[in-house]
């Protein structure tokens, strides 16, 4: 099948051989899922499978034929080899789907987190899938032709490749169209065009982003009567968890107690909360938006003001402290600091810090400093966001100090494929134990200041995690097909007696809101409106149907009102 021209090789046949190599290296997962449930004894399964293979081969050939020309022939093919092998590694190892959201999340990941995904297995995958065929290609003498002959030959090859693709799609049209309707996201497994298409879409979206100010939200926001007359400074502290899933959260009924310290505290618990997204890059902006998942529009979310803007407009001071890869634009323009930059003693190794570093110089974060006046909400009310590293994978063993590694044996590898299933769960649960401890420490610090400050704490994770179920690891699957473990997250709330009293909140009523205000369940969509309700910020942007405090407030007790007066 290979044609020799003298002692050289026909470029189009070299591209065909390269296309076969890319098909074998990059599309195992796609074919596995596309052919799932089809009987080998059924002839239609073989027709469908053959058509898919032919279509993938044609797509790869067309891609290479468009980019591999002249002196760039070998460099272009080798580049595509490397891309295919790298993308295939993450698909095959973690069950990743390479869509624009996943790519953006990867591009914005902190280097300290990203390097945990890079190891010997990735190197060996690239060596076998790309370096080996690239080495053979580099030594192969490819025919040099005049530009007219080269153009004519390539045009003919492109036409033939396109016809092959059309015929393959036609042969499999009915089952393929049904498959794509029901599992649209499978297209993000077709490698390497998934990465190329997603990168192009991401660049196009970035270029289309309008310049200028964000769309205003809650322009009418103002401090409500209980905030204006508060006897003591009022603080709401939101802890944004990372990669904590409800399925392993002790307070949500997990068989193993991963929240022993929180279990001893008077908390309001919301079970099985639904996240906005399955990765930090999409979920974090969404959970601070006025309209989140229920009317999801990523462009609108990113180009609109969020909860921080509305609170600030009502006179509430805002501070964001981060122990991860940043606030994804949410806190732009507000006071922000990074734990790694603060370098709290004993909490950090290089640019990696334990979450106790979030409590560095904690009292200085709290409102109510010298000179603050009762009638000045800006000096007397504060919203603090602590963004955790939490359970960020795959290096769960790096997320907790040795004293919290109680579940053994625990996976101590960055590459989860080197560990058995139970040791992965043990390492993950140890990190949850540490989050439990950090949250208990925060509440204890606030309890110690309860005579001076009225405080509330909300903890909710940004998304969940897959720990090997159905061959999936980590997170970031397209939302429509993501398993519940990537979308169900823990959420708890703690209120100091002074905060509940000063706001007139019935904690028993709040505890009954596990199913949301209307009984359909709690989600990230409740966060924006509930925080406004806790502070008593009055604005038309606050929707009562999404405010978990709605209907749970009453008159401020007489002794609290007297103290305020």
Tens of pLDDT, residue by residue over 218-258, are 999 999 999 999 889 999 999 999 999 999 999 999 999 99
pLDDT at 299: 85
Which residues in 398-427 are b (16+ Cβ under 10 Å) and which e?
bbbeeebbebeebbebbbbeebeeebbbbb
pLDDT at 517: 67
CA distance 232 to 498: 8
pLDDT bin (cut points 50, 70, 90) of residue 118 is low
pLDDT at 207: 60
pLDDT at 379: 63
Q: Looking at per-residue confidence, does 522 or 299 come out higher?
A: 522
Tell me which range, 115-119, 156-160, 324-328, 456-460, is most confidently predicted by mean pLDDT: 456-460
- The mean predicted confidence, pLDDT, of the chain is 86
What average pLDDT does range 365-376 have in this prediction? 56
Task: Establish whether the linkage from the previous residue to 409 is cis, with ω within 30° of 0.
Answer: yes
Tell the burial category of 303 from Cβ atoms under 10 Å away from its Cβ (0-12, 13-18, 19+): middle
pLDDT at 371: 40
pLDDT at 40: 83
Task: Yes or no: say if 474 and 394 are a contact pair by the CB < 8 Å rule.
Answer: yes
Structure tokens at 400: 């907790």
CA distance 363 to 437: 18
What average pLDDT does range 134-163 have in this prediction? 87
**Has residue 404 got a pLDDT over 50?**
yes
Q: How far is CA 101 from CA 9, 202, 241, 243, in A?
A: 41, 8, 20, 16
Of all residues in the chain, the percent with pLDDT exceeding 90 is: 47
pLDDT at 372: 42
Of all residues in the chain, the percent with pLDDT exceeding 70 is: 89
**Has residue 561 got a pLDDT over 50?**
no
Alpha helices per DSSP H over 68-211:
73-94, 100-107, 111-114, 120-126, 132-139, 147-171, 173-182, 193-208
Tens of pLDDT, residue by residue over 452-502, are 999 999 999 999 999 988 888 888 888 888 899 999 999 999 999 999 999
**Has residue 284 got a pLDDT over 90?**
yes
Q: What is the pTM of this model?
A: 0.77
**Has residue 198 got a pLDDT over 60?**
yes
Task: Yes or no: say if 307 and 531 are a contact pair by the CB < 8 Å rule.
Answer: yes
Tens of pLDDT, residue by residue over 98-114, are 877 777 776 666 666 65
pLDDT at 211: 56
Nearest CA among 422, 353, 438 for reference residue 392: 353
CA distance 424 to 488: 19
CA distance 310 to 530: 13
Angle at CA of residue 52, ends 51 and 57, nearest 5°: 100
**Has residue 400 got a pLDDT over 90?**
yes
What average pLDDT does range 394-411 have in this prediction? 93
pLDDT at 553: 84
**Has residue 532 got a pLDDT over 70?**
yes
pLDDT at 558: 52
pLDDT bin (cut points 50, 70, 90) of residue 26 is confident
pLDDT bin (cut points 50, 70, 90) of residue 33 is confident
Tens of pLDDT, residue by residue over 55-67, are 999 999 999 999 8
pLDDT at 538: 96
Q: What are the structural domains, with CATH classification, of the chain?
A: 4-207 (no CATH), 235-564 (3.40.720.10)
Strands (E), 135-253: 222-223, 234-241
**Has residue 564 got a pLDDT over 60?**
no
CA distance 397 to 7: 56
pLDDT at 97: 80
What average pLDDT does range 148-156 have in this prediction? 88
């Amino acid at each position: 099948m290979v044609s020799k021209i003298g002692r050289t090789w026909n470029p189009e046949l070299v591209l065909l051989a390269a296309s076969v190599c890319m098909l074998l290296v990059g599309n195992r997962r796609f074919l596995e899922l596309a052919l799932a449930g089809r009987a080998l004894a059924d002839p239609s399964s073989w027709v469908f499978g053959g058509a898919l293979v032919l279509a993938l081969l044609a797509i790869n050939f067309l891609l290479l034929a468009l980019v591999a020309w002249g002196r760039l022939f070998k460099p272009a093919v080798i580049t595509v080899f490397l891309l295919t092998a790298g993308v295939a590694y993450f698909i095959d190892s973690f069950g990743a789907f390479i869509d624009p959201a996943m790519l953006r999340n990867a591009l914005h990941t902190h280097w300290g987190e990203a390097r945990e995904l890079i190891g010997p297995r990735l190197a060996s995958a690239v060596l076998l899938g790309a370096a080996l065929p690239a080495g053979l290609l580099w030594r192969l003498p490819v025919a040099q032709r005049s530009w007219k002959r080269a153009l004519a030959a390539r045009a003919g090859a492109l036409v033939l490749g396109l016809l092959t693709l059309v015929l393959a799609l036609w042969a499999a049209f009915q089952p393929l169209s049904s498959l794509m309707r029901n599992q649209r996201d499978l297209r993000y497994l077709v490698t390497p065009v998934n990465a190329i298409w997603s990168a192009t879409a991401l660049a196009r979206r970035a270029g289309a982003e309008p310049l200028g100010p964000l769309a205003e939200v809650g322009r009418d926001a103002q401090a409500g009567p209980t905030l204006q007359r508060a006897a003591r400074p009022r603080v709401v502290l939101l802890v944004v968890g990372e990669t904590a899933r409800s399925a392993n959260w002790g307070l949500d009924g997990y068989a193993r107690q991963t929240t022993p310290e929180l279990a001893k505290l008077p908390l309001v618990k919301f079970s099985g909360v639904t996240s906005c997204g399955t990765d930090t890059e999409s979920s974090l902006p969404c959970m601070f938006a006025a309209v989140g998942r229920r009317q999801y529009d990523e462009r609108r979310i990113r180009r609109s003001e969020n909860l921080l803007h509305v609170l600030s407009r009502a006179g509430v001071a805002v501070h964001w402290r981060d122990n991860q890869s940043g606030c994804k634009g949410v806190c732009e323009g507000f006071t922000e600091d990074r734990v790694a930059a603060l370098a709290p003693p004993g909490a950090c190794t290089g640019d990696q810090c334990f979450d106790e570093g979030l409590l560095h110089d904690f009292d200085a974060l709290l409102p109510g400093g010298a000179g603050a006046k009762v009638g000045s909400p800006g000096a007397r009310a504060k919203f603090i966001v602590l963004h955790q590293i939490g359970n960020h994978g795959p290096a769960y063993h790096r997320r907790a100090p040795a004293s919290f590694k109680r579940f053994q044996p625990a996976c101590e590898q960055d590459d989860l494929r080197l560990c058995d299933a139970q040791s992965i769960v043990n390492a993950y649960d140890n990190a949850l134990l540490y989050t439990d401890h950090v949250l208990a420490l925060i509440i204890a610090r606030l309890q110690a200041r309860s005579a001076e400050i009225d405080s509330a704490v909300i903890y909710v994770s940004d998304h969940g995690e897959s720990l090997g179920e159905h061959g999936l690891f980590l997170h970031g699957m397209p939302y429509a097909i993501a398993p519940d473990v990537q979308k169900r997250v823990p959420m708890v709330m703690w209120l100091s007696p002074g905060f509940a009293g000063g706001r007139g909140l019935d904690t028993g009523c709040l505890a009954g809101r596990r199913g949301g205000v209307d009984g359909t369940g709690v989600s990230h969509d409740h966060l924006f409106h509930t925080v406004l309700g806790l502070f008593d910020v009055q604005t038309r942007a606050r929707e009562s149907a999404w405010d978990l405090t709605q209907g749970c407030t009453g008159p401020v007790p007489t002794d609290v009102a007297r103290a305020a007066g």
